[in-house]
Amino acid sequence: MGVEDPGRAASGVPARVDLELVDDRVGEPAEARAERDRVRSLVDLAEGHGEVPLLDDAGIATLLRRARRIALIGASSRPFRPSHGVMATLMRAGYEVVPVSPRETEVLGQRCYPDLAAATAAGGPFDIVDVFRNAASCPPHAREAVEAGAGCLWLQLGIVSWEAARIAHEAGMPVVMDRCTAIEIGRIGRR
């Protein structure tokens, strides 16, 4: 696929750039490649070119109205962290929220579990597994959610992992990506 730039043709610079060649730069730093891949995943999601189907607004509304128990992976006791604020919002909305993080022992007065298996063993399955981790960390959490018999894999705002989505989808689990549970509750309403 090429991109035309008529102004450059007059300057002696090639008028057509092959985007596939630009994407396959030799020696590209790993951080730049990771960022490019992250942006590509977000664009694919926004344009509806994803590898698996995702819940739409109606599906999300139904899920949030029926859900009772949410595991929040990547929970933090630090008030400035997004997971902390979202957990507080979910609790105010009436959900039972169980924090999951190997770095914490308690978040917002709730016992924190080191992993989803321990949280499930302590209180039973979850309707939603809400993940606050970077995209590269999401596939193992998707496998955990499948093994725990969770009802839905939810990747928070800015997080897109088609691999994690595929893992959940192939196990029959609905998937939400790049959306915030707290924002959706405010937008759609819980009940």
Q: Which of the four pLDDT bands, split at 50, 70 and 90, describes residue 25? A: low
User: How far is the C-alpha of 188 from the C-alpha of 33, rounded, in Å?
Assistant: 36
Angle between helix 138-147 and helix 162-170 axes, rounded to 10 deg: 10
Domain boundaries, the chain: 14-49, 57-188
CA-wise closest residue to 142 among 125, 160, 166, 122? 166
129, 154 Cβ separation under 8 angstroms: yes
- Global pTM value: 0.79
38 or 166: which carries more pLDDT confidence? 166
At position 85, the amino acid (one-letter code) is G
Rounded mean pLDDT, 74-89: 97
Encoded tokens for 132: 């606050």
Average pLDDT over residues 166-173: 97
Q: Which pLDDT score is estimated for 188? A: 81
Residue 161 near residue 138 (C-beta atoms within 8 A) = yes
Asked if the 57-188 domain carries CATH number 3.40.50.720, the reply is: yes
Helical segments of 26-176, H only: 30-46, 57-66, 82-92, 116-123, 138-147, 162-170
Question: Taking a C-beta distance cutoff of 8 angstroms, is the pair 185, 160 a contact?
Answer: no
pLDDT at 48 over 80: no
